[in-house]
Structures are given as C-alpha cells and as structure tokens.
Structure 1
Amino acid sequence: MKQKNILIVGYNEFNLQELNTIEDAEAYHFIPMFRSGIQKSEDIQIKKLVDEARKEIEKEDPPIDAIISFFDFPFTLIAFLLCEEYGLKGPTLVQGLKCEHKYWSRQEQHKAIPENIPAFDAVNPFEPGPFEELSVNPPFWIKPVKAFSSQLGFKIENKADYENCMPTFREEIGRLAEPFNFFLEKADLPEDIRKVDGNYCLAEGLIGGHQCTISGYVYNHEVYSYGLIDSVRYPNSPSFFYYLLPSTLPSRVQQRMDEISRRVMKQIGFNNSPFNIEYFYDEEKDKIYLLEINPRMSQSHSDMYDKTRGHSNHQVLVKLALGEKPHFKELQGKYEYAAKFQYRVFEDGVVESIPDEEKIRLIEEKYDDTTIKIDVEEGQRLSELPLQDNHSYALGVVMTGAQAKEALLEKYYQIIEAIDIKIK
C-alpha cells in the first residue's frame, strides 16, 4: 500500500508519538519540519522558514499529499499559505487570518454573534489616541492583535494604566508583529483591516466566568464539534492551571456553544480543518462569551482525548488534511477524567534543583499513565524565562487521568510533591 506523504509544519516528540497512535498510522509517512521551539525565538525568520518548506515540498517524490500543523503562530499560517500555494486541502490564508488577527476576528464575530462578544477597539501603540475616545470603557484588557499564551496582555483600570503600558508595547510588539505582517502582506485584505497591522493592539471589555474550549472541525463547509474541555485558573489569579475533560457544564449550555460555534465559523468561511474556540460562561447572567478562535487542532488536549475516548484527536487533523471526513469514534478510554496541569509558581527565584530523567521515569511509573515535562533548568532565574504571562512562572506540565475529578487533583498534588523542584 502506498503511504500518504504528510508534511508537519512545527513539531515535537510528543506529537510525533501521538500521530503514530492514530488509526491506520502505518498508511502515512510523516515528514516533520521546524521544531516548536522556534516560537520562543526572539527573531522569527518567517521568510526563511517558508522558503525551506517550499523546497521540502518540491523535492519530495512521490509528492506531498497533505500539510498539517498543530502549533500556534507562525506554524498554522505557514501551513495554510502552503496549502493554498500547492492546491492541497485546508483553509485559505485569509480564513486563517480571520481567526488569528484578533481585531479582524472580532469584526467577523460581531456580524454573526454580536450578543456573545464584548465591546472592542483597535489601538495603535505608536500613535495612541486619547484614552477618553476609546469605544471600550475601563476596566478592559489590551493585547496585541497577534499574540499567544497571554503575552503582552494588560488589564487597564484607568488612564494611567493605559499610558504606562504603551512603552512596553512599542518595545516588544515587533517580535511577532514583523512575521505576522509577512502573512498580512500576502493576503487580499479589506481596506479597514489592512491598516490595522501586527503593530496594533486590541482593547476589549472584560468577560469572565467558567472558561472552556470547544473542539471541532469544518468539513465541506459543515461545522462539527466533538468535545468540550474546561480551562481552570489558579485561585485568585488569571494564570492558567489545568485543562479538564469532560467539561462540568450542563448539556444545555454546551448545546448553545455548539450553535454559536457553527454560526461564527460559517461567517468566517473556515473550511476543511480542525478548530478550537475558547468561551466563558457567566452562570449568574446565563450568558456565553466567545474569547478566542484558534484555527487548529489543540495538541494540548490530545492526551486527554486519548485517556477518556481511547484515541487522540490527531486523527481528525490527518483525515481533514487528506480531504476525508473524520470519524471521531466514542471509544472507551481508560479514565472518566483527564487533565493537563501547568505547574506554576508565583514568586521569582533561581532554580536550585530539578529531578533527573530517571527520577521522572520512576514517578511516571508510580502514578499510572502520567507524563511529566519539566520546562526549567538548574541555575535559571524565573523572571528571565521566555514566553511567560505577567503573573506567574511556568515550571512544567503534568498530564494524567483518574476516575473522579477529586481523585485527579489529589493525584496531581502528590506528583508535584514527588517532583520536588527547589527554588531559592
């Protein structure tokens, strides 16, 4: 049987392992390009990356059958651009930008679901207009039109907060703005969007409540969803703590989110690709707010689907890239609940010691079906770590499962105690 050649734009070992567990994995030949760590680079050489990918595509014999990506910027947009250039299945670059350009995305959302989004406005930090003329009233959030992992996100309570964050944007926004503008220049944009490039910010009203994420996909212009995952924050902090599958929200709320997702993805015209959409549910007001659209499968969720459904959602990504309708079967997973925890601390310091590989292996064996990834090294000062939010420092990730939510949390805290990272 002839294998299908599938180019992976942005990868790590974990996702390569997940791809090899999907149904009929032996039918695919995966060709990985660009490690995911490129995202942390201070200078993302986007043109060089695209040119290297083109060379890889053009040298393959037999030719590439599909291009996939499961990481955030710049990888998804590289994949969409290349799919369009080489006539492969996937969204167009414009469809991807309508999701990833935060201001443009809010405009599209307003056309389809105005009751489910906050007030918003574009801000040029290099020529900020008067605070009083913003169409968003404080308190509000302000962030770049292209960012991820809460980077450069500021809560604005008053005029002083607004003015104080502008120098930071002017100094740091270019890291992602320049490569993002590479894609904007290649797309046919409406005039009102063309002037709001990657150097702009988005100001938007505060929304909150129970945070969760819908996993879905679009196949031949029909929108499907197959799971809802809760996103839980640390107590009294905006910092992310863990993902939880399945969601604890009532089914009636989940059904409403499904319908909102269908309407907004149809408005964008997104097609032949997975997506995930982040939401807040305000229980007191019985109100759903859309936070963000991500035009990709969430690789952060794949282990949880494997533990609870019996297989990873990587299968959805591969099938769609080949022009086939996915069948995300409801198999019986080993656990009722699964989570991906982000191990964080909230005070600066220097990493004094971390567990070695053998200790990690023993902990993973002791706590069944657990995966541990440490993201710090001995001697590192936490405040110098790249890609952190403004409130905490991420030390690593723990993925595990249990038969009850309470047991899951108890298992996590035992694992963290066993890991015993020391900071001085």
Structure 2
Amino acid sequence: MKNIFVLGSDEFNLSLMKTLVSAKDYCFHVLFDYDEVKMGGGRPVPSLYEEGLEKLKSFPGRVDAIVGYWDFPVSTLLPLFRRSFDLPSPSFEALLKCEHKYWSRLEQRRVIPEFIPDFCAVDPFCDHPGQQISLPFPYWLKPVKAASSQLGFMVRNESELHAAIEEIRQKIAGFADPFNYLMQFAELPSEVKTVDGNYCIAESIISNGQQCTLEGYVYHGRCCVYGTVDSIREGEHNSSFSRYQYPSMLPLHIRQKMIAVTERFLQHIGYDNGPFNIEFYWDSEADRIWLLEVNARISKSHCPLFHYVDGMSHHQVMLDLALGKEPDFPHRQGPYSYAAKFMWRIHSDAFVVKVPSEQQIQAAIREFPGCEIKLHVHEGMHLSDLINQDSYSYEIAEVFIGGNSEHELLEKYHNVKQALGLELSPLLDGMSCDKREGKSDGSCRAVST
C-alpha cells in the first residue's frame, strides 16, 4: 500500500479519489483538512508548514506521496513538503514562476511575448499608485498572488482605481503575509525580490473572446495535454465564471496552437514532474490567442467533468505524478458525451430565506441522473457572509451535470434549480443591491432563484 498524504482533504474530492481503480493500492492520510488550509478561516501558513513537516517526519511508515488540488496556500506548500522527502515534484522556483503573477509575466515575456498583455507592477501602498501604471484605461488590477479572482478589479477610470486601491489596501494582507512567508524559501531574481505579496499587477484587457483551460502535465520533460475545458463567464464585466464545460468546442487548430505556447513556456521555466492547468482566451475576430495564467495543479472543479466524459477523475493524473509514474489517462470512456460545472451566482447581496434539506438535494440527484450538488449557503445568512468570493458576485452553489448535448446540460441545470426551491430576499433597506456599483434598479425582491 502506498501512503498518500492529502493536503487540504475534503469529503467530496476524497470520495472521488477512492472511486479510482488504483485506490485499492493507496492508503490516504489527511495532512490537514480543507477547513484548516482555506484562506480567510484556516490555520496560519507558518503553522501549516511547520506542523505539516512535523506530522510527516513523525509518521511511522514511508511517505510515498504528498498531493493537493487547492489553490494557494496548498499548491505553494506542496513542493516545499516534497523536497524534504525527496519526492517527485516541480521545483519551488518553477512553481513560483507560475503562481507569482508578475514573475510569471516576466518569464512569459522572454519566450512568448506575442501571447501576453501589456503589464506593470503596482505598489498599492505608495502615495500615488496611479502614477506607476503605464497602461491606458481600462485595465485589470489584481494582487500578484490571490485566489478565486479575489481582489481583482476592472478599472475604467480614476474613481474606480481609487475604490480598488482602497479595498486592496484593506484586504491584501490576507494573501500577502502568508505568501511572503513562503517566498523566503525561494531563490529570487533581483527584479522579483522587491515585488512581494503586497504588490499588484496591472494588465491590459485580453478578455474579448472565448476562454478555455488546458489540463495537462509534464513528466520527465515531456508535456502532455489531455483535455480542454471551456470557461463561460457572466456578469457586468464578463468576469465571473458561469460554468465550465467539457469537452471544448474551440477549433482543433486553435487548441493545438495553445498547446504549443504552453510547451514553450513550461520548458523555459523548467517545470517538470507535475500537473498544470493553463488558461487562454481566443479572440476569434482577430484570430489571436492570449495566455491568461498558469496554475501548477489540477483544477479540482474539472474532476467530475473528466469522470463523466472520460470515465476517470483526473485526480489520477495528480496521484500518478506524485508517485513518480507516467499518467495513463483514458479518453471518452465515461457515461456522457458532455459535462459541466455550473456556478450558481447572485450578483447582489441578499438574505437566505430557505435552503433545500439534504433529503430534497438527494431527491433532485435521483430525479436528474448525472448530477451532483454542493450548496454553499444556509438559512439565516447574508450572501455577503460568504468568504473567498470574486469582486462582483456571490457563488451560492456548485452543480455538476453530465449529459449528451449542451442543450441537455442547460436544461438539467434549469430544472435542478427549480427543484431545489432555494429562496433569497434581496436587501431593500437602502444598502447596495449590487455588489460593486452601490445601486439598486428596483428589481430586488423576495424571489425563489
């Protein structure tokens, strides 16, 4: 039996891993659960690192692999834990060249400059941050390290820049302090040393087009992409994810071009023996692709999609690489031709009046085969009580659906929402109904969403 430690274990993903055929050869151990590693409510990162090492070193058996599927701080801690046990892993510096947004853009500019936006580093704590920004409005402003699009703002004018800077100043320490703690373990070039976790990056707009994510890995220097997932967005700035849909509907030659760009960049930074997901935009009118960002992990959100369509969760890819094995991932062997993860979003604050019971949720799953539901809200809370949300919406549930056409996916999702009977009451007490704009158009009312 292989002893596999899971950093940030949660019931949903652990249950998926236990369905893998190879799981009979694995003994999973929890190296902190999700509640302990989540940003905004978990353990301090220094505690995770120091106590995590102590747990691993005191384990009486052999540590065969250490895995995780969450964003920061999990993805950033993994190579540090692994190198203490000489386990297969990308180097810590190669990982940071993906996760530190400014460092990543610097490296991208060296080898794939035609596929990235204009950008510059911004110190939000200086007296006049706008004077550091060399880009014309509009542009995106975001921390060099965050997660789930938190503290990312579309900036169209000086007023929006001022509002974004004020919010970033108030909240960036939640990411900056733990990120700076971990950066001390890396060899940093001079151009990156001063741009720590308290900095932001401004980037010109590249989001005019279709977005997708390539899921792949590098094993002993060979890059393999085994799936492409389309990312459909919604909201005022088209910045909030509405659903992830697999397989991609982008033309094959566009996906092949994205793969070539991916290979060139990952080879340049020396990324090896690890999974990745890399996000692109395709502007069909200009027939141009843009690289958005690189993540040094599998996307946990895509795991059920691969299970539905290919017959196996790509947790298997993560596990194989962590054990030093070359992945052998199936193709189109699942029960459905299409699959999607829907992010049920509300774009204004509201009071949660009613949520479905566990019995109602299970009844909906039975009524609509190929469906999984994860609810994020409970009765009596405000949506603004949710943590780790993007800047423009509240995600109240995740719904995973398998089907044999895009139409079937959309129809199932609509029917599932109706069956759950979740009720929200928008705020009408003079507070903002819109998350960012501070306005109400009079349409907020008690509704079943």
Instruction: Please tell me the TM-score bracket, short chain as reference.
Output: over 0.9
Give the letter for the 2:34 counterpart: S
Q: Greater CA deviation, 250-259 or 378-387?
A: 378-387
2:250 is aligned to 249
1:19 Cα deviation after fit: 1.1
2:30 counterpart of 1:32? yes
Secondary structure at 2:47 match in 1: helix
Secondary structure at 2:55 match in 1: helix
Secondary structure at 1:317 match in 2: helix
**Contact 2:39–2:73, Cα closer than 8 Å, also in 1:** no
d(CA) in 2 for partners of 1:86, 1:199: 31
2:3 is aligned to 5
1:210 is aligned to 210
Give the letter for the 2:78 counterpart: A
Give the letter for the 1:185 counterpart: Q
1:235 Cα deviation after fit: 5.9
1:87 Cα deviation after fit: 1.0
Give the letter for the 1:403 counterpart: N
d(CA) in 2 for partners of 1:291, 1:181: 23
1:194 Cα deviation after fit: 0.8
d(CA) in 1 for partners of 2:84, 2:134: 39
2:261 counterpart of 1:263? no
**Contact 1:123–1:129, Cα closer than 8 Å, also in 2:** no
1:280 is aligned to 281
d(CA) in 1 for partners of 2:169, 2:420: 39
**Contact 1:273–1:320, Cα closer than 8 Å, also in 2:** yes
Give the letter for the 2:188 counterpart: L
2:429 is aligned to none
1:150 Cα deviation after fit: 1.3
2:301 is aligned to 300
Instruction: Give 1:340-359 correspondences, 5 Å limit.
Output: 340-359=341-360
2:384 counterpart of 1:383? yes
2:421 is aligned to 420
Secondary structure at 1:86 match in 2: coil
Secondary structure at 1:95 match in 2: helix
1:234 is aligned to 234
d(CA) in 1 for partners of 2:118, 2:365: 46
Instruction: Give 1:394-413 correspondences, 5 Å limit.
Output: 394-413=395-414
d(CA) in 1 for partners of 2:41, 2:56: 27
**Contact 2:123–2:129, Cα closer than 8 Å, also in 1:** no
Deviations 1:73-96 (A, max 9, x none): 001111111111221111111111
Give the letter for the 2:95 counterpart: G
**Contact 1:372–1:399, Cα closer than 8 Å, also in 2:** yes
d(CA) in 1 for partners of 2:43, 2:373: 28
Secondary structure at 2:81 match in 1: helix
2:214 counterpart of 1:224? no
**Contact 1:8–1:69, Cα closer than 8 Å, also in 2:** yes
Give the letter for the 1:258 counterpart: I
Normalized against structure 2, the TM-score is what? 0.91
Give the letter for the 1:50 counterpart: Y
Instruction: Give 1:12-411 correspondences, 5 Å limit.
Output: 12-37=10-35, 38-42=37-41, 44-127=43-126, 129=128, 131-208=130-207, 209-234=209-234, 236=236, 237-411=238-412
Pair 50,107 (structure 1): closer, same or farther in 2 beyond 3 Å: same
CA RMSD of aligned residues (A): 1.4
1:133 Cα deviation after fit: 4.8
Give the letter for the 1:4 counterpart: K
Secondary structure at 2:84 match in 1: helix
**Contact 2:90–2:273, Cα closer than 8 Å, also in 1:** yes
d(CA) in 1 for partners of 2:92, 2:251: 36
1:20 Cα deviation after fit: 1.1
Deviations 1:131-163 (A, max 9, x none): 355222211000000111111111111233223
Deviations 1:259-290 (A, max 9, x none): 01101111121110100001100000000001
Q: Greater CA deviation, 274-283 or 343-352?
A: 343-352
d(CA) in 2 for partners of 1:251, 1:94: 32
1:44 Cα deviation after fit: 4.6
Secondary structure at 1:350 match in 2: strand
Segments of structure 2 that go 5 or more residues without pairing to the other structure are 426-449
Give the letter for the 2:206 counterpart: I
Give the letter for the 1:367 counterpart: F
Q: Greater CA deviation, 7-16 or 128-137?
A: 128-137
**Contact 1:302–1:313, Cα closer than 8 Å, also in 2:** yes
Q: Greater CA deviation, 380-389 or 346-355?
A: 380-389
Give the letter for the 1:20 counterpart: K
Pair 184,128 (structure 1): closer, same or farther in 2 beyond 3 Å: farther
d(CA) in 1 for partners of 2:127, 2:248: 40
Moved beyond 6 Å, runs of 4+: none
Q: Greater CA deviation, 260-269 or 157-166?
A: 157-166
d(CA) in 2 for partners of 1:331, 1:137: 45
Give the letter for the 1:334 counterpart: P
Percent identical among aligned pairs is 40
Give the letter for the 1:308 counterpart: V
1:43 Cα deviation after fit: 6.6
**Contact 2:235–2:347, Cα closer than 8 Å, also in 1:** no
Secondary structure at 2:268 match in 1: helix
Q: Greater CA deviation, 234-243 or 392-401?
A: 234-243
Q: Greater CA deviation, 249-258 or 233-242?
A: 233-242
Secondary structure at 1:136 match in 2: coil
Deviations 1:385-415 (A, max 9, x none): 2112222211101001110001110110000
**Contact 1:83–1:92, Cα closer than 8 Å, also in 2:** no
